[in-house]
């Protein structure tokens, strides 16, 4: 690590996948290095239950002149922080993104999972990453998010947001879900399915990709609609304008559906109601450490075969 001057007033929220031993070791490394440079840390209450194993002990941090503050995972958890540092896989990143977006600060992901497509760096580069953080040597991108609303009898009865996707799904062990897909106030198609995904370009490499959707480059602002196991000829993935209004009506007289935002936040969509998805006015701030093209990330994360490429 390079030596830096103390940084008074700086605070970083640490979000950790507590089920991984590697996360424990990495969290301790992060706390020690940032503490040595005068950067205060916050950790979440649920992750600090066993602080003797997951985090540096309070006495160790005080010896560095920095205390760890323990906060609840609510809308104010990241208030006043410089950024949120996520140690884990994509699930941990999405959890951190929820806290960061609430107060419009950036999130930086370190992959400790398998693919970790949302992470900016791997765990073995943690010292280099911390150098960037300490020196404030990083840039911030804006990533599009989605506003997700459940409307019944003309009134919005539930609302959420998504970074990756909003997924409308049939209930467990229920039959085919009947829906009508609508774009910009006009019907497109009616079909039976297991569900419908509405995704951002960021989410196109996640659930939407597994359901047969295309990969969209993150700087292509658009909304991706992917029917999941649909029983219809025209039920194919569609890419719309980022300003399109997408609605999925659940067949009246059938079963209730369930909507998930990023696989985390759940909303019930009753039969006869509709799920409405539009571009959200609040984007997610995303820390970037280098200028490598998205193509390189795609090849690296999915381990795509490129042997034999001659280039220019």
C-alpha dist (Å) from residue 289 to 16, 58, 80, 129: 20, 31, 22, 8
Tokens matching residue 137 = 């040597």
78's CB contacts (< 8 A; 6+ apart) are 13, 42, 84, 99, 100, 102, 103, 105
Report the pLDDT value the prediction gives residue 131, as an integer from 0 to 100. 97
Distance CA 288, CA 290 (A): 6
Q: What percent of the chain has pLDDT over 90?
A: 70
**Where are the domain boundaries for CATH 3.40.50.10330 in the chain?**
11-143+285-301
101's CB contacts (< 8 A; 6+ apart) are 145, 161, 163, 282, 284, 285
Distance CA 117, CA 141 (A): 16
Tokens matching residue 18 = 């507590």
pLDDT band, residue 45 (cuts 50/70/90)? confident
303 known ligand binder = no
**Where are the domain boundaries for CATH 2.60.200.30 in the chain?**
146-281
Query: Residue 67's beta-bridge partner residues?
Result: none
pTM of structure? 0.88
Report residue 58 CA to chain centroid gap: 30
The model's pLDDT over 73-121, given as tens digits with 9 standing for 90+, comes to 888 899 999 999 999 999 999 999 999 998 999 999 999 978 889 999 9
Q: Which residues are catalytic?
A: 90
In degrees and rounded to multiples of 5, residue 133 shows phi and psi of -65, -45
Report the pLDDT value the prediction gives residue 6, as an integer from 0 to 100. 43
95 known ligand binder = yes
In degrees and rounded to multiples of 5, residue 302 shows phi and psi of -95, 0
The model's pLDDT over 12-29, given as tens digits with 9 standing for 90+, comes to 999 998 877 788 888 889
Contact 72, 66 (CB under 8 A): no
228 known ligand binder = no
Q: Which fold has domain 11-143+285-301?
A: Rossmann fold (3.40.50)
Angle, helix 21-36 to helix 126-134, in steps of 10 degrees? 30
Contact 263, 197 (CB under 8 A): no
DSSP 217: -
Q: Which fold has domain 146-281?
A: Tumour Suppressor Smad4 (2.60.200)
The model's pLDDT over 240-294, given as tens digits with 9 standing for 90+, comes to 999 999 999 999 988 899 999 999 999 999 999 999 999 999 999 999 998 889 9
In degrees and rounded to multiples of 5, residue 76 shows phi and psi of -100, 5
Q: Are strands 11-16 and 83-88 parallel, antiparallel or unpaired?
A: parallel
Distance CA 44, CA 181 (A): 40
Q: H/E element holding 155?
A: strand 155-162
Size of the chain in residues:
312
22 known ligand binder = no
């Amino acid at each position: 690590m390079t030596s830096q001057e103390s940084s008074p007033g700086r605070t970083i929220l640490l979000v950790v996948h507590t089920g991984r031993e590697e996360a424990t070791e990495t969290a301790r490394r992060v706390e020690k290095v940032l503490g040595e440079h005068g950067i205060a840390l916050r950790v979440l209450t649920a992750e600090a239950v066993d602080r003797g194993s997951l985090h540096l002990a309070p006495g160790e941090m005080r010896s560095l002149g920095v205390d760890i503050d323990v906060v609840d995972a609510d809308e104010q958890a990241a208030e006043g922080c410089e950024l949120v540092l996520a140690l884990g896989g994509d699930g941990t990143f999405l959890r951190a993104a929820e806290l960061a977006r609430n107060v419009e600060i950036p999130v930086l992901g370190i992959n400790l999972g398998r693919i970790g497509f949302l992470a900016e760096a791997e765990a073995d580069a943690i010292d280099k990453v911390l150098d960037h953080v300490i020196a404030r040597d990083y840039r911030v991108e804006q990533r599009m998010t989605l506003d997700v609303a459940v409307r019944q009898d003309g009134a919005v009865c539930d609302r959420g947001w998504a970074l990756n996707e909003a997924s409308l799904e049939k209930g467990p062990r229920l039959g085919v879900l009947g829906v009508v897909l609508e774009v910009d106030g006009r019907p497109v198609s009616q079909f039976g399915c297991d569900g419908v995904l509405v995704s951002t370009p960021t989410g196109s490499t996640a659930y939407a990709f597994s359901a047969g959707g295309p990969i969209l480059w993150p700087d292509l602002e658009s909304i991706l609609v992917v029917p999941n196991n649909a029983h219809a000829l025209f039920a194919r993935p569609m890419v719309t304008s980022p300003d399109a209004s997408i609605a999925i009506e659940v067949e009246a007289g059938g079963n209730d559906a369930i909507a998930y935002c990023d696989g985390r936040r759940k909303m019930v969509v009753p039969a006869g109601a509709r799920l409405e998805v539009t571009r959200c006015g609040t984007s997610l701030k995303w820390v970037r450490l280098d200028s490598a093209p998205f193509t390189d990330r795609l090849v690296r994360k999915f381990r795509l075969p490129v042997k034999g490429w001659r280039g220019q």
